[in-house]
Structure 1
Amino acid sequence: MKKRVLITGAAGFLGSHLCDRFIAEGYHVIGMDNLITGDKQNIEHLFALPDFEFYHHDVSKFVHVPGKLDYILHFASPASPIDYLKIPIQTLKVGAMGTHNLLGLAKEKKARILVASTSEVYGDPAVHPQTESYWGNVNPVGPRGVYDEAKRYQEAITMAYHTYHGLETRIIRIFNTYGPRMRLNDGRVLPAFIGQALRGEDLTVFGDGSQTRSFCYVDDLVEGIYRLLMSDYASPVNIGNPSEITIRQFAEEILALTGAKQKVIYNPLPTDDPKQRQPDITLAKQLLGWEPKVSRQEGLAKTYAYFQTLTQEQLYKKDHKDFTGYTK
């Protein structure tokens, strides 16, 4: 029988690419998503396949999946500032209660579980680049705290299940990732810049643009996730591209890529916005034999080509998500 994998957040940007990868690897894939930030269009090409099934469900509530499970990948969570500032309580609940529910399911099914953590656990780092041994510099009561602390708790409870119950767990710390199926207006820097360029708007940089990010193409990230899941390592592992660039330089790259003639404008820096972000991937290289292969130039070209296929309605719609009823 085919191995079965449950992927939460399956209709999201990363979740949908993971569904594609595990289908390609010959697994039976069970996707789960409550669709408050995900989009069924990201996975509708899989609906006709006999090895794919979809559950419209909120993992913050009790989770039941009939039959055996070999693996669980927990990617259900708002991941952009626009989302988790609008639904802060839901963000905390999916990181805490959702993770608890899925760890319980993994224990019941004797399945291996990989949870998606984030570079945001490092906060505004005092150590650069960031290694897995760095504990971070996070403001727990700031506007970003609902996401940062949800992920830090997620790591803690995952490790507790590993040490106390002997559960097979994996923790990935994901750095900035981009590629097709990103939501155009979700507040993250890359889709924001490309959307502004396509609409003929000036590109908005927050602060003076000297803050840095490191962008990893989604195919590279998915490969890292797959290798970590199949490894025997339980502690957190950074997966990201260490090629660092300032936001100001990145804006200029987007203008050059799109041929846009607009200028770059500057707005105040949001509270607790990290000044530096660069992964140390020494552990991933040694443990998984993994490092990114797709250059930023190649990845941006593929991503821009995807955004060019959007309709005018999609291009100008500021926020296609309705969060009514999800704030309690």
Structure 2
Amino acid sequence: MEKVLVCGAGGFIGHHLMRYLKEKGYWVRGADIKLPEFSSPDEADEFLQIDLRDMENCLKATEGIDKVYQLAADMGGMQYIANTHADVMRNSGLINLNIAEACKVNKVKRVFFSSSACVYPEERQLTPEVVPLKESDAYPANPDTAYGWEKLFSENLYYAYAQDHGLDVRVARYHNVFGPEGTYEGGKEKAPANMCQQVAAAPDGGSMWIVNDGKQTRSFCYIDECLEASYRLMESDITEPLNIGSDELISMEDMAQMVIGISGKKISIENDMTKAQGVRGRNSDNTLIKEKLGWAPSQKLEDGMKLTYAWINKQINPAG
């Protein structure tokens, strides 16, 4: 039985991945500075609550491990990463520097690094009618956030370890993954969870806010689709970066209306012009992953949003 480490197993994608890999029959160790908020760490065979910015902890986490899924990062939604630069770069940079070296020292067979659509250049994302971003668009580099720069640096870090030390590397560029059992309040939540939280908490006839004019566009990938694509990539022989996302583009205004429709409430929408909106448009070009892995998302955004809203609504209104 292969032994797998999930770094960042206390986070949204990480704890879902930990559960997914257990169901696949792997022996799974989770590692994170925090415990999963909405599930039990006992879903793993072993869970280490440790700080991966510390090299000794990374050596401990990777000991006896065959494959590593490296998802640990200092991250959050746009309101977080647009206002947190040095901490994001330092914390995530330290984690990746340590994990790469620990994988070398402990002779880990393969490492999967979760990069991000935030690596893509700002100038390619200036209009809501954005041309879908393909993997080769990452260079010449000009991410719009420190978070994106750190992800791009760490992609190259792992590839340097592949070149110099033979580390077998897989890189996924995630595009806005969402779903149940994720952060929905506190400032680190992403747009789908934030909107679901606002609508669930609002009384019928109440209001919610969206960032800027609401015309900015994104695509969103449901968690189950992300897990399947990530696993396929890890088990493949594809070493180049691959987008993992949906190409179903939606404006934030339309997403808000979608959530309101799902709730059955009458909610008015207010525009908050003070908050960071990020780039004006971002969409995933899935041509390469379809070609290399035969994968494409099958679930419509609205179906995933219904499941996400139902879960968040239950957290906020447990009595129904």
Alignment correspondent of 2:67: 71
- Distance in 2 (CA, whole Å) between partners of 1:116 and 1:12 is 13
CA distance in 2, matches of 1:192, 1:123: 26
* Contact map agreement 2:115 2:151 (CA 8 A) in 1: yes
> 83-92 or 64-73: which moved more?
83-92
Residue 321 of structure 1 corresponds to which residue in structure 2?
none
Contact 1:59 1:94 in 2 (8 A): no
Gaps of 5+ in 1: 314-328
Taking a change above 3 Å as real, the CA distance of residues 239 and 125 of structure 1, as seen in their structure-2 partners, is: farther
| Alpha-carbon offset, residue 182 of structure 1 | 1.4
- Does residue 53 (structure 1) correspond to residue 49 (structure 2)? The answer is no
Corresponding position of 1:131? 134
Query: In 2, distance between residues paired with 1:116 and 1:310?
Result: 28
Cα gap change, 1:290/1:25 in structure 2, threshold over 3 Å: closer, same or farther? Answer: same
Mapping 1:196-211, distance limit 5 Å = 196-200=198-202, 201-211=206-216
Is the partner of 2:37 in helix, strand or coil?
A: helix
Q: How many residue pairs end up in the alignment?
A: 303
Indicate how the Cα distance of structure 1 residues 60 and 267 shifts in structure 2: closer, same or farther if over 3 A, else same.
Answer: same
d(CA) in 1 for partners of 2:98, 2:22: 25
Q: For the Cα contact (< 8 Å) 2:196–2:313, is it kept in 1? A: no
Is the Cα–Cα contact under 8 Å of residues 179 and 303 in structure 1 kept in the other structure? yes
**Who is 1:108 aligned against?**
105
Distance in structure 1 (CA, Å) of the matches to 2:251 and 2:84? 29
Show the counterpart of 1:145.
Answer: 145
Q: Give me the CA root mean square deviation.
A: 2.2
Alpha-carbon distance in 1 for matches of 2:262, 2:90: 39
Shift of the alpha carbon at 1:282? 0.7
For 1:184, give the aligned amino acid.
Y
Amino acid at match of 1:52: D
5 Å-filtered alignment, 1:185-196, equals: 185=185, 186-196=188-198
Quote the offset at 1:138 in angstroms. Answer: 6.8
In structure 2, the partner of 1:172 is: 172
After TM superposition, give the deviation of residue 9 of structure 1 in Å.
Answer: 0.7
For 1:299 and 1:271, the matched residues in 2 are separated by: 25
Distance 1:137-1:218 versus aligned 2 partners, 3 A rule: farther
Matches within 5 A, 1:286-297: 286-297=291-302
Specify the SS of the correspondent of 1:180.
coil
Q: Is contact 2:79-2:276 (8 Å) kept?
A: no
1:234–1:160 Cα change, 3 Å? same
Name the % identity: 27
Report the equivalent of 2:157.
157
Aligned-partner Cα distance in 1 for 2:67–2:87 = 25
1:174-205 deviations in whole A, cap 9, x for unaligned?
A: 00111011111134111111111111152222
User: Partners of 2:213 and 2:83 in 1: how far apart?
Assistant: 26
Provide the C-alpha distance between the structure 1 equivalents of 2:289 and 2:151, rounded to a whole number of angstroms: 20
In the other structure, the counterpart of 1:279 is: 284
**Structure 2 gap segments, 5+ residues each:** 126-130
Secondary structure at the residue paired with 2:124?
A: coil
